[in-house]
Amino acid sequence: MDLYFEHSVSLCDGHDDEVDDGSRRIGAQVYNDFVADFRAAMFAKKLLRRELHNWGWSSQENVANLHIYLDDLFAKHESLTILHLRLSHTREQADALPAPIEDQLRDLQALRMARTTFFDRMRRKPALFTDQPRYIWSILPSLDGRYDLHLTLLFDTAALQKVLDDRKVEAAQADVCLKDHADQVGACWVQVATGGRGSYLRGDSDAWLYGSHWVHGEVCDDDTERREKLKETLSYLAMRRALLRLKNEPPGEYFGMSRRKPRRSGASGYGGAQVG
């Protein structure tokens, strides 16, 4: 309807006289032009509907895979310890003004590079992350148009406790004050992945970040209620991509989960199985 009133066809009176729009065209020409514009608009709308469908379908697949992933982890471990972090490549901006498009794209690329560096360090530093770190991640735009990495770490509780005990012994021997484990992970992100330029927020100490209903800390395999709540809250990260995207957003992975790579001769590790 808007297209009709915005087009010169709305000035046509049903006769083939010259239309009073300054173009010196007759009614038939204006009608033909309107039909062409109408077809183009319908085609664009169809493409948009198809793209929206693909976004929604991809997010639904992400949620289904996420639930299978969590069930598989709890089938292998008696309990998992959950840590939620929001990781930024740069410090918090003093103002809330949207960043220019070029800055947004550069920030996204830098964040992706930092993510790759951080995940590689996780695999190489079992003294902080255990020897089998599992994680779920999502890259989402922030209020200023930049991007943040939302990361959920899932540690085998027994393995994590051994790491914590070993680090306490090392700290006592060196007579140094040991930071909380979550802050050690955050510091690793800032120093290793971003060269000191980044920042982090903890989901357990910054309640406004995700809300009080998010699951933190230890979750036992027989705790059905907390397991279901964990699925529900993490599904938010998978589904949010269907609802929140910036204009001119480049292609690439925005959501994923760690997967164990096939064992090769003398080597093992974890890769990121990412889905859009």
Question: What are the two backbone dihedrals, phi and then psi, of residue 212, each rounded to the nearest 5 degrees?
Answer: -70, -15
Which of 48-62, 89-103, 207-221 is most confident? 207-221
Nearest to 216, CA basis, from 206, 178, 75, 167:
206
pTM: 0.73
Task: Note whether 120 and 250 are same-domain residues.
Answer: yes
269 domain residue, yes or no: yes
Question: What pLDDT, on the 0 to 100 scale, is given for residue 14?
Answer: 45
Task: Note whether 99 and 47 are same-domain residues.
Answer: no
Residue 274 vs residue 252, higher pLDDT: 252
Task: Note whether 29 and 144 are same-domain residues.
Answer: no
202 contacts: CB under 8 Å, gap ≥ 6? 83, 84, 85, 182, 183, 186, 209
pLDDT band at 35 (very low <50, low <70, confident <90, very high): low
69 domain residue, yes or no: no
Q: How far apart are CA 148 and CA 97, in angstroms?
A: 16
Assess whether pLDDT exceeds 80 at residue 245: no
Which of 16, 37, 61 is at the close of a domain? 61
Residue 53 vs residue 104, higher pLDDT: 104
Task: Note whether 177 and 141 are same-domain residues.
Answer: yes
- Tell me the per-residue pLDDT of 96-139, one tens digit each, with 9 for 90 and over: 566 677 777 888 999 999 999 999 999 999 999 999 999 999 99
20 domain residue, yes or no: yes
Directed axis angle between helix 27-76 and helix 224-239, to 10°? 150
70 domain residue, yes or no: no
Task: Note whether 51 and 95 are same-domain residues.
Answer: no
Residue 13 vs residue 225, higher pLDDT: 225
Q: How far apart are CA 44 and CA 36, in angstroms?
A: 12
Tally of domains within the chain: 2
Question: What pLDDT, on the 0 to 100 scale, is given for residue 208?
Answer: 78
132 domain residue, yes or no: yes
Task: Note whether 53 and 125 are same-domain residues.
Answer: no
183 domain residue, yes or no: yes
Task: Note whether 161 and 245 are same-domain residues.
Answer: yes
Task: Note whether 18 and 113 are same-domain residues.
Answer: no
Task: Note whether 130 and 86 are same-domain residues.
Answer: yes
Tell me the residue range of the domain where 222 lies.
77-275
Task: Note whether 101 and 50 are same-domain residues.
Answer: no
Task: Note whether 120 and 53 are same-domain residues.
Answer: no
71 domain residue, yes or no: no
Task: Note whether 87 and 202 are same-domain residues.
Answer: yes
148 domain residue, yes or no: yes
* Least trusted range by pLDDT, from 49-53, 168-172, 248-252: 49-53
Mean pLDDT value across residues 208-227:
91
Assess whether pLDDT exceeds 70 at residue 188: yes
